A = this chain, B = another copy of it.
Amino acid sequence: MAQQIDTTIMTVGKAKIDNPAIGPYVTDSPVPFYLDVEHAGEDAKGLDAPLFLEQAGPRSHVYYDPGKTKAAVVTCGGLCPGLNDVIRAIVLESYYGYGVRSILGIRYGLEGFIPKYHHDVMELTPRNVSEIHSFGGTILGSSRGPQSSEEIVDALERMNVNMLYIIGGDGTMKAASAIQEEIARRRLHIAVVGIPKTIDNDINFVPKSFGFDTAVDVATNALRCAHTEAIGAPYGVGLVKLMGRESGFIAASSTLSLNVVNFVLVPEAPFKLEGEGGLLPALEKRLLERSHAVIVAAEGAGQDLLTASGKTDASGNLVLGDIGSFLQKAIKNYFAAKDMNVTVKYIDPSYIVRSMPANTNDRVYCGQLGRNAVHAAMAGKTNMVVARMQDRFVHLPLQLVTRRRRKIDITSNYWRSVIATTGQKLA
């Protein structure tokens, strides 16, 4: 039921100062919309009544006095195309749109706030961000893992920061929440505005996260190479592992884009290796019929087939088993036993995918996210993120964003198209 979801946006205080940025201005009046049944999957359950969300954009009045405002920007977690574009848009809109003259870049994620790491801050100016969108990654650097909210807010106080732009994934958004709570506890007037980042495209309520298009673009190229390798050898198999810890969107969309994949494996659709409906017999059938095949696996696919390590990384994510190497071995063993001389070419393009500069589409998108984040912060909004839903930019409370992960709805027409494209019949 929609009414269960509280979409109220918190503010640092009442916006009373005339906005120095040009209009037209938007109001806080909510935009109603229905959730996309197909793409939102699980999230859509119980949500057929409209949600009412604040529109993003510049308001007629701002809370902060631009000339006295100090902003900080931090990027956290793994690389994703578009990070530099978001940073750049925040800096340019703050500087040229509002007249904010002091913008700090925090180095290497949340580590940058903590004295013991000795990371200097970086002054961000229009001049030193002007060309950064030509490069992948983040000029600020990043790191994984949480840091003490107290120490972070200590640092914000010491530096006299009025607003924090925090760009990162699920864990980072939870950290942003904790920071905002600490700020509230101390009764400080510091806005915390998030820009959700996930190359896996698994943010709740956000159908397409920034960088996803670029990631699919680059992943598609790896699929093309896998296909080329597969047809280049007798019984050639091209195997590609793509990002996607819990959601296989990159694997699925790149499969749709190229039409060369015969088997696509995602976390949302478990599969077995052997027996009726198993991957290996299906692969054998395909090879006997067409003599080459392409398999793409999201990194989180088939984890039940692997021995769990039980370990977690610095971000608190479970360390996944390596489905790529596992499949490579399984395929070799299976066909060796059948005396079929199968060649497997295994491609893991993950670092290449995530470190590319944003494509044009993502560049426009990131620019809009960054500018809307500035509009929100200047107006005194806090504890929220900017997001695009149904072609509109809106404000979402942090709690809503971290409620659960987006996953592929395997009963959707989207996933059906993927399956139809591959022709795969796995049980």
Contacts and interface: CB of A to CB of B under 8 A. Distances in A.
B142 A232 contact: yes
Given A36-B392, A141-B233, A393-B413, A228 B364 contact: no
A416 B38 contact: no
A157 B25 CA distance: 56
Contacts of A23: 416
A26 to B, nearest CB: 6
A59 B333 CA distance: 42
Interface stretch (A64-72, A174-182, A293-301, A417-425): A417-425
A142 B34 contact: no
Interface residues of A, number: 94
A217 B391 contact: no
Kindly report how many copies of this chain are found in the complex they form together. 4
A364 B259 CA distance: 10
Interface string A83-117: 00000000011001100000000011001000001
Nearest to A390: B390
B31 A37 contact: yes
Interface stretch (A5-13, A279-287, A349-357): A349-357
B34 A217 contact: no
Given A32-B34, A225-B136, A416-B22, A220 B360 contact: yes
A361 interface: yes
A236 B137 CA distance: 12
A300 to B, nearest CB: 20
Interface stretch (A50-58, A195-203, A397-405): A50-58
A137 to B, nearest CB: 4
Interface string A21-35: 111101000011110
Interface of A: 21-24, 26, 31-34, 36-39, 50, 55-58, 79, 92-93, 96-97, 107-108, 111, 117, 119, 131, 133-139, 141-143, 207-208, 213, 216-217, 220-222, 224-226, 228-229, 231-234, 236, 253-254, 256-259, 345-349, 351-352, 355-356, 359-361, 363-364, 367-368, 371-372, 390-393, 411-413, 416-417, 419-421, 423
